[in-house]
Structure 1
Amino acid sequence: MAAGRTRSSEGAASARVKSVEVTVQILDVLSEASGAVRVTDLARQLDMTKARVSRHLQTLTNLGLVDRAREGEGYVFGRKLLKFGRAAVYRSNIVEISRPFITDLHNATGHTALLSTPTRGGAMVVLSVNSQFEPGIMIHPGAVLSLPESPAARLIYYFEKKKPTPPRVVENLKRYAVDFEANVRGNGLGGIAAPLFEPDGLIAATVSIILSSALLIPDPDPELLESVKATARAIQDEYAEGVVSPLMPPQGA
């Protein structure tokens, strides 16, 4: 009897593990989709029967991890999962490590200092210290910096190997080890951004400052460049020391 109970327990444990694996696979598909995903599409992508996928979706819906799309067929992330996602972003290790360094960058330069992480369509601000001397440059966590004006978004786009490569990114990285942009025709604001990398070399975040474009023309202020680079180096040393993406061009190359 004892042996039978052991085998039964092992089988139940294996089934629970498999159920977790399927859940992660479903959430992976939903995270990569641009809209609601139908059961038929999920079943095809995961090589499972519609009935099996439907059972998992029902459980995930009951738990609040996925929701039915409001219009048409399909499923999307649930509100609880979005809550977990926000907590994961804003309380992540890199945010906690970066917090004092971003404050120091703001204090050293006097400009709005940001930490941004990759998101669909750009860079999402997850930490900000806004300048008190430049009214109008108030950027809060949750804001999305977009292409092509944002150097933070351009760096993420480049290091995620998306095409086409934003103009001047490689040139700026070769010459300065950062990207920058002066938006003289728009709001008159510009930015300087440096990348941070995960232990596996993928881009984790960007450090940046927002400032007047006048400080970037005809060339960026060397002290500002060094402040951004020094902050990025300090955070990188704490987060994943010595890691550099293979896509980072050599200085002066």
Structure 2
Amino acid sequence: MADSTGNEGAGRVADVLLAFLDGPRRLGVSAVARELGLSKAVVHRILQTLVNRGLLLPDVDTREYHLGPAAAAIGARALRESDLRTIALPVLRELQQATGETTTVSARVPGGRVYLDQVESAREIKMTVELGRRFPLHAGGSSTCILAFLPDDEVEAVLAGPLDRLTDRTIVDATGLRRRLDDIRRRGYACTDGERQEGAGSVAAPVFGVDGWAQGAISVCGPAARVDPAARERFVPLVTAAADRISRGMGWRGGIPSPEGRAIA
């Protein structure tokens, strides 16, 4: 029983810290308690523990909290040691030169995915992304490319959960999203136009790990007026070839697992 209670407590601490990866940079006790379904007293104790260890910092004026220097140090260390980021970065530089638009790499994390890095377009008007912020898996090219190539139970968990509308073009019904995922699996890539962020167009492809499941995704993104259907068609072979190179650098040798776990072509 004590071990179970300890695991539950550790899980709550982790969930509170992970809440700061989403949405606003600063959160108060009430917002965290509401999001996680915990009592304010429990959340307050956890927040104080995280403050004492430098993982969070309090704002005395607003009574809200934001990530602290220890969290930043952990994030920086994780980036330095990320195999996916290290392998992807030189490929992203080449892809940016070939397309002229911003290129990104994302990693799967619990509850969604985060951008690990980007190579920005040299153009005056360009797309940039927020590194380290967690985004849901149901909206956007990188997100849906990851979701399409996850085990069935993880896909079904996302489909059964809340599908928040991020823009007018976000797919928010499970049936429509299921069709979209089937299409991504057939094609091996995703094209989007304002699905996660208004006015943005992108082409994304999954990055596979040695086990054959999606570990992340890469994308080319820019203003929708430039990344139009003709541009997306030109970018598709470049993006899919780049994703293949990165996947093989991650140890992937071709094929993806079937629902039963057997590798298939």
Query: Into which bin does the TM-score normalised by the smaller protein fall?
Result: 0.5 to 0.7
Aligned to 1:192: 203
Alpha carbons 2:141, 2:191 under 8 Å: kept? yes
Distance 1:81 1:200 in 2: 32
Query: Could you say which residue in structure 1 is the equivalent of 2:76?
Result: 87
CA contact (8 A) 2:137 2:143 kept: yes
Aligned to 2:190: 179
Q: Over aligned residue pairs, what C-alpha RMSD do you find?
A: 4.7
* Residue type of the alignment partner of 2:127: M
Please give the residue correspondences for 1:48-67 in structure 2 after superposition, counting only pairs within 5 Å. 61-65=51-55
Identity of aligned residues (%): 20
| Alpha carbons 2:205, 2:243 under 8 Å: kept | yes
SS at match of 1:135: coil
2:246 pairs with 1:235 = yes
Given candidates 96, 107, 111, the residue that maps to 1:106 is 96
Deviations 1:7-28 (A, max 9, x none): xxxxxxxxxxxxx978854543
TM-aligned CA distance change 1:104 to 1:22, over 3 Å:
same
Please, what TM-score do these two structures have when normalized by structure 1? 0.61
**Closer, same or farther in 2 for the Cα pair 1:206/1:213, shift >3 Å?**
farther
Match of 2:14 among 28, 40, 45: 28
Query: 1:197 touches 1:236 (CA, 8 Å); kept in 2?
Result: yes
Secondary structure in structure 1 of the residue aligned to 2:32: coil
Closer, same or farther in 2 for the Cα pair 1:119/1:41, shift >3 Å? Answer: same
Of residues 105-114 and 62-71 in structure 1, the stretch that sits farther from structure 2 once superposed is 62-71
Letter in 2 for 1:208: S
TM-superposed CA distance for 1:193, in Å, is 0.5
Residue aligning to 1:116: 106
Contiguous gaps of at least 5 residues in structure 2:
1-5, 23-30, 160-173, 260-265
**Which range moved further: 27-36 or 232-241?**
27-36
Instruction: Give the secondary structure class of the aligned counterpart of 2:256.
Output: coil
The corresponding residue for 2:127 is 138
- Which position in structure 2 is the counterpart of 1:8? none
Q: Structure 1 residues 190 and 21 mapped into 2: Cα distance closer, same or farther (>3 Å)? A: same
| CA distance in structure 2 between the aligned counterparts of 1:140 and 1:89, rounded to whole angstroms | 18
SS at match of 2:94: helix
The amino acid across from 1:28 in the alignment is A
- Specify which of 95, 111, 115 is matched with residue 125 of structure 1: 115
What TM-score comes out, normalization by structure 2 length?
0.59
Match of 1:244 in 2: 256
What SS class does the counterpart of residue 104 from structure 2 fall into?
A: strand
CA distance, structure 2, for counterparts of residue 28 and residue 245 of structure 1: 30
Contact between 2:115 and 2:131, CA under 8 Å: does it hold in 1?
yes
Letter in 2 for 1:63: R
Match of 1:217 in 2: 229
Matching residue's letter, 2:72: K
Corresponding residue pairs, total: 216
SS of equivalent residue, structure 2 residue 221 = strand
Secondary structure class of the residue paired with 2:128 = coil
Is the CA contact (8 Å cut-off) linking 1:201 and 1:244 kept in structure 2? Answer: yes
Give, in angstroms, the shift of residue 200 of structure 1.
4.7
State the match for 1:15 in structure 2.
Answer: none
Q: Letter of the aligned partner of 2:16 in structure 1?
A: L
2:209 touches 2:252 (CA, 8 Å); kept in 1? no
CA contact (8 A) 1:68 1:76 kept: yes
